[in-house]
Amino acid sequence: MGMAVGENSESTGAKQQEAIKAYGRAAGYLEEARKNYASTTPTFSKDGEAFYLECADLHLQAASKAREKGNSQKEEQSSLQTAINSIELRNENGLQNYFEDECVTKRRQQDKQQLQEDTALFYPVVLSDRLELVLKFMDGTIVQKTLRYPLNGGQFTVKNKNDLANLVETFRQITEGSQDRGLAEKFYEWLIKPIKPTTEQLLRGEIKTLLIIPSRELLSIPFSALVNYESEKYLIEEGYAIAILPNWSLVAMVDNRQKKEDHALLNGLIQKQTTINQRSLRRDDIQIVDKDFCQNEGLQFAGQEITEVGKMITSNEVLLGKQFTTEEMKKKLKTANYSIIHFSTHGEFDKNHEDSFLYTCDKRLSLNELEEILQDQELNLLTFSACETALGAELGLAGIFVKEGVKSALGSLWKVDDESTQLLMSNFYKEWRVNKLSKAQALRASQMELIKNHKGPSRWAGFLLTGNWLP
C-alpha cells in the first residue's frame, strides 16, 4: 500500500490539495479491497490502521491551515469531519485486527443516535510529531487544539510519540499502586486544559458526559483520575462522567428492540477461607482447576457483592461458589434470556485475544468460549468486576461489546482490592437501577462515593465503562 504521497502533506496550497485527493482515491480502493481480501490477509487491517491515521493527519493539518488563513469555517469543519471519519475507520480496523475477524464491526443497520446537549465526543489523537485534541458537540460543531512535541512537563517532558506511550504506561502503574499526583496533573495539562477555553459549553459547565475515543496509545489512561493542578480536583470531581468508546459509529445506534424487564445472571467466585491463596492466576495455569479452587482462590467480598447487586435487580438468577461452573452457566443461558450478566471472578484481558480468559469454579474459560456462550443473548450490560486488563489489551475490553452486540461493558484496567470493588459495584447498580442515572453518570457517582470515603485512585480510577453510556 503506497503511502509516499503523505510525505508532502506538510506543504500548502496545491500540493496539499493534491495529497488530499490522492488519499481520497486510495481510500476508495482500500474499502473495495477490504471487501474482497481482508479476511484472508492477516496484515491487511494493520496496514489499514496506518493508512487511515495518515488520512486523519492530513485532514487535521488542512483544518489548521484553513483556520490560520481565515478561510471559511465550512472548509475547516469539513476537514475536521473527514479527519474524524478516518479515525473511526482506523479504529474499526484495529478491532478487526485484535479479534482477527473482519465481521466483528459489521453490525445490523439501525438508525443513528444523536449526541445529547450535555454530551461531547472527545478524540485525543497521537501522531508522530504532535498530539491533536478534537471535540465534537451535539450541534455538529467540531473544535481542534494542536500540541506539538515537546510537551513540557519538567521531568516528564515528552519529546516524541514513543515518550508519550511510555509515560502512559508509567502513569497507569503509578495510579494503580500509589497516590502520587504528578503525572495525573501533567496528563490533565496536556489532554484537558487545552480544550477548556475553546468552547463555551465547557466553560459554562454544560457538558456533563465526555465520550472519549482515544488513540490506542492512550487507552490505558485512567481518565477519571486526571488532576487539575489549580483546583486539585480529579476530572470526575469537575462534573464529568466518562465513557471510553472504540469508536462512535459502532455505539451510536438507536436500540429499536422492544423494551423488556431486565433479567440478570449474577456469577461469583466466593472465598470460604479467611485468606486468599496467592497462587498466580495466569495463562499457564491448568485448564481444569482443582477441587479446592473455589475456596482457595475465591473472592472474599464476592458473595456480598452479588447479594447487594441482586437487591437492585429484582429479576435475577445467581451462580455462586461451587454452583458457578461452566456447565451450569451454559444451562442458564440456554433456558433464559438475560439483559445483564455480572461476573465477580478472576480473569484477564490479554493483549492477545486468544489468551484472554476468566475463571468459573471448575474451569478457566477462554474469551472465545465466553463469546460462544453469550452469542444468543441481547445484553444491555456485561460486567467484569474483578478481571484485570493487561497492558496493551484495552482494545479487547473496549471491543467485546462490539463483537457480541452487547450495549455496554464495565471492567477495570487493573485488579482492584476486593472490598473496594464490592463497594463500587454496589453503588454503581444502585445509582443506575434505583436512582435512574445513565450508566456513565452511575459510574461517576460510585467513584465519587469512594473519593468521599478517602479512597485513593488505585481503588476506583481503574474502572471504566465502554459502549453505550445511557441507561
- Taking only the tens place, the pLDDT of each residue in 81-113 is 999 999 999 988 877 777 666 666 665 445 566
Say what the pLDDT of residue 226 is: 98
Write out the H or E segment, with its range, that includes residue 306: helix 302-312
Q: Is residue 111 one of the residues assigned to a domain?
A: no
Spatial neighbors of 401 by CB under 8 A, at least 6 apart, are: 382, 407, 408, 409, 466, 467
Say what the pLDDT of residue 399 is: 64
| Statement: residue 64 has pLDDT above 70 | yes
Per-residue pLDDT averaged across 130-152, rounded?
Answer: 96
For residues 314 and 426, state if they share a domain.
Answer: yes
Q: Between 298 and 311, whose confidence is greater?
A: 311
Average of per-residue pLDDT values in the chain: 82
Q: Between 195 and 36, whose confidence is greater?
A: 195
Say what the pLDDT of residue 437 is: 97
Q: In whole angstroms, what is the distance from residue 95 CA to residue 400 CA?
A: 9
For residues 218 and 330, state if they share a domain.
Answer: no
CA distances from 17 to 56, 130, 211, 231 (A): 14, 21, 32, 44
For residues 366 and 288, state if they share a domain.
Answer: yes
Say what the pLDDT of residue 388 is: 78
CB 133 within 8 A of CB 122: yes
Q: Is residue 257 one of the residues assigned to a domain?
A: no
Percent of the chain with pLDDT over 90: 50
Q: Is residue 157 one of the residues assigned to a domain?
A: yes
For residues 326 and 437, state if they share a domain.
Answer: yes
pLDDT tens across 429-471, in order?
A: 999 999 999 999 999 999 999 999 989 999 999 999 998 899 8
Domain boundary among 192, 214, 244: 244
CB 269 within 8 A of CB 346: yes
Sheet holding 241-244, edge to edge: 142-148, 130-136, 119-126, 209-212, 241-244, 463-467, 408-412, 381-384, 340-344, 264-268, 316-320
For residues 195 and 78, state if they share a domain.
Answer: no
CB 262 within 8 A of CB 340: yes
| Statement: residue 427 has pLDDT above 70 | yes
For residues 228 and 341, state if they share a domain.
Answer: no
Say what the pLDDT of residue 115 is: 86
Sheet holding 347-349, edge to edge: 364-366, 357-359, 347-349, 388-389
For residue 390, name the pLDDT band (cuts at 50, 70, 90).
low
| Statement: residue 170 has pLDDT above 80 | yes
Residue 91's nearest CA partner among 351, 398, 355, 393 is 398
How many domains is the chain partitioned into structurally? 3
Partners of 120 in beta bridges = 210
Q: In whole angstroms, what is the distance from residue 79 CA to residue 76 CA?
A: 5
Q: In whole angstroms, what is the distance from residue 415 CA to residue 39 CA?
A: 35
For residue 193, name the pLDDT band (cuts at 50, 70, 90).
very high
Domain boundary among 244, 277, 305: 244
Q: In whole angstroms, what is the distance from residue 267 CA to residue 365 CA?
A: 13
Which CATH number characterizes residue 343's domain? 3.40.50.1460
CB 416 within 8 A of CB 262: no
For residues 288 and 418, state if they share a domain.
Answer: yes
For residues 133 and 95, state if they share a domain.
Answer: no
Cα angle at 235 between 229 and 238, to 5 degrees? 95
Say what the pLDDT of residue 249 is: 81
Say what the pLDDT of residue 264 is: 97
pLDDT tens across 183-192, in order?
A: 999 999 999 9
Provide the 3-class DSSP secondary structure of residue 133: strand
Instruction: Domain of residue 79: give its range.
Output: 4-101
**Which of 12-16, 98-102, 196-200 comes out lowest in average pLDDT?**
12-16
For residues 311 and 397, state if they share a domain.
Answer: yes
Q: Is residue 109 one of the residues assigned to a domain?
A: no
Partners of 210 in beta bridges = 120, 242
Q: Determine what percent of the chain falls in helix, strand and coil, rounding each to the nearest 5.
A: 45, 15, 35
SS (H, E, C) 341-406: EEEECCEEECCCHHHCEEECCCEEEEHHHHHHHHCCCCCCEEEECCCEECCCCHHHHHHHHHHHCC
Q: Is residue 251 one of the residues assigned to a domain?
A: no
Q: Is residue 37 one of the residues assigned to a domain?
A: yes
For residues 312 and 368, state if they share a domain.
Answer: yes
For residues 164 and 207, state if they share a domain.
Answer: yes
For residues 86 and 204, state if they share a domain.
Answer: no
Say what the pLDDT of residue 280 is: 33
Q: Is residue 253 one of the residues assigned to a domain?
A: no
Domain boundary among 75, 101, 127: 101
Say what the pLDDT of residue 288 is: 39
| Statement: residue 47 has pLDDT above 70 | yes
Q: In whole angstroms, what is the distance from residue 329 CA to residue 157 CA?
A: 50
Cα angle at 225 between 223 and 226, to 5 degrees? 70
Q: In whole angstroms, what is the distance from residue 123 CA to residue 134 CA?
A: 5
Partners of 244 in beta bridges = 212, 466
Say what the pLDDT of residue 109 is: 46
pLDDT tens across 324-382, in order?
A: 999 999 999 999 999 999 999 988 877 677 778 888 998 888 888 888 888 888 899 99
Q: Is residue 106 one of the residues assigned to a domain?
A: no
pLDDT tens across 228-281, in order?
A: 999 999 999 999 999 999 889 877 655 555 567 899 999 999 865 333 333 333
| Statement: residue 287 has pLDDT above 60 | no
Which CATH number characterizes residue 185's domain? 3.30.420
Residue 58's nearest CA partner among 98, 24, 93, 95 is 24
Torsion over CA: 374, 378, 384, 388 (sign) = positive
